[in-house]
Amino acid sequence: MLQSAANKASAAELRKHLFYETSHSPALTDLVGYEKAKDIVDFCFIANPYYPTQGMLEDLQRSLPNLIKSYPSSNPLMSQKHLAAVLNVDPERLIIGNGATELIALIDMTLIDRIGVPIPTFGEYIEKMKDLRNAELYALDLENRYQLSLEDYFEWAHKRKLECLLVINPGNPTGQFIPLEEMVKFLHRAREMELVIVDESFIDFAGDPIPSLLPLADQFTNLLIVRSMSKHCGVPGLRLGYCYSANLYILNRLRRFLPTWNLNTLAQYFISLLPGADAAYHEGRKRLIGDVKHLYQDLLTNSHLEVYPTGANFLLFKVKNGMTANELQTRLLVEHDMYVRDCSNKLGMDAFHIRVASQGREKDSRLVEALRTLLQ
């Protein structure tokens, strides 16, 4: 037991080195190795614990020997049609990427000269710019829980004569959800801008029905929706994401620079399974929404935490007893076999915020108890 704790303490020391090399968190396997990672509950990386279904996983396992010996399809429309079937959108207006990060890098390099970015945020939108100075940062106020006012944001951008804006809804890492009617009002106001990027990677957990802009995208020719499938489909290892727009000029510019085989055969096969498992997906999605609400209420009982409301499948909270996020993350890992997201390396965020992704009620309850123990 002492040796195990010592090993994890060493891992925590290694984490400090890895942590400051990125705006993300080190992968748990980088810290403790693949074997030890199996014994640790990962609340850091955000993925739906109820999907894929067991049947889908067994199907993927059976097909693996053939899939890894086969070339992926060179026709992206095949996968676009499978994905469009569950999204109820036009497949011709979809681009599927090797993770949303591939698409974000492509968008930054091919479509953007200057862009307004509220911070704190998902760092890839800033870090993949051709010139980092082209990202004009709109700092959100800690005293207001990093809430984004779309009206104030638009006025700020207008004064700076910006033609491109980013909105992440629900926000990452805050979890802030902006209702659909507010987003539509904002898009109408921003019609004259060249490009409005709306990242909806967590929107499936914001309500039922899903309050996404996808059904309304055809109304806004400057709108580009970006979504990661890692979060809502629970497959971060497959590297899947997509973007959608009614603007074929934007889509064709992006397509020119995508590799012919940017998706591997396993990812393409997974997408082909989505239509047959759509009912199970929505059942799991709604279950996870309930889990997050339950976790939120449990965390509110801890007087040492300030817990932020969320529309995502994760929660952000501020530690109020003087312990830093770095210290709390390390102690949870070493003493409780739990890995959470220290947000202190996110631009615009202080040293006291932790993000946790729900992993089901049983594991979430263990986290609540661990926090109660450490923050007495």
- Whether 322 and 258 map to the same domain: the answer is no
- Whether 81 and 207 map to the same domain: the answer is yes
pLDDT at 32: 85
**High-pLDDT (> 90) share of the chain, %:** 86
Quick: pLDDT tens for 257-284: 999 999 999 999 999 999 999 999 999 9
pLDDT at 267: 97
User: Of 278, 298, 319, which one is at a domain's C-terminal end?
Assistant: 278
How many C-beta neighbours within 10 Å does residue 119 have?
A: 18
- Whether 39 and 58 map to the same domain: the answer is no
- Whether 174 and 315 map to the same domain: the answer is no
Is the model's pLDDT at 200 over the cut of 50?
A: yes
DSSP state, residue 120? S
pLDDT at 223: 98
Radius of gyration of the chain (CA): 21
Quick: pLDDT tens for 6-62: 555 555 555 566 666 666 778 888 888 888 888 999 999 898 999 999 999 999 999
Dist. CA 340–CA 330, nearest whole Å? 9
Q: For 128-142, 176-190, 336-350, which range has the lowest pLDDT when averaged over its residues?
A: 128-142
- Whether 175 and 87 map to the same domain: the answer is yes
- What residue numbers bound the domain in which 154 lies? 54-278
The answer to whether the CB of 146 falls within 8 A of the CB of 294 is no
Dist. CA 48–CA 232, nearest whole Å? 5
pLDDT at 2: 45
Structural domains counted in the chain:
2
- Whether 204 and 325 map to the same domain: the answer is no
Q: What angle do CA 351, 149, 231 make, to 5 degrees?
A: 60
The two three-digit tokens of residue 274, written as one number:
């989505």
**Which CATH number fits the domain that encloses residue 175?**
3.40.640.10
Q: For 126-135, 138-147, 212-221, 302-311, which range has the lowest pLDDT when averaged over its residues?
A: 126-135
- Whether 32 and 119 map to the same domain: the answer is no
DSSP state, residue 375? T
**High-pLDDT (> 70) share of the chain, %:** 94
Average pLDDT over residues 228-251: 96
Mean pLDDT, the chain, whole residue set: 93
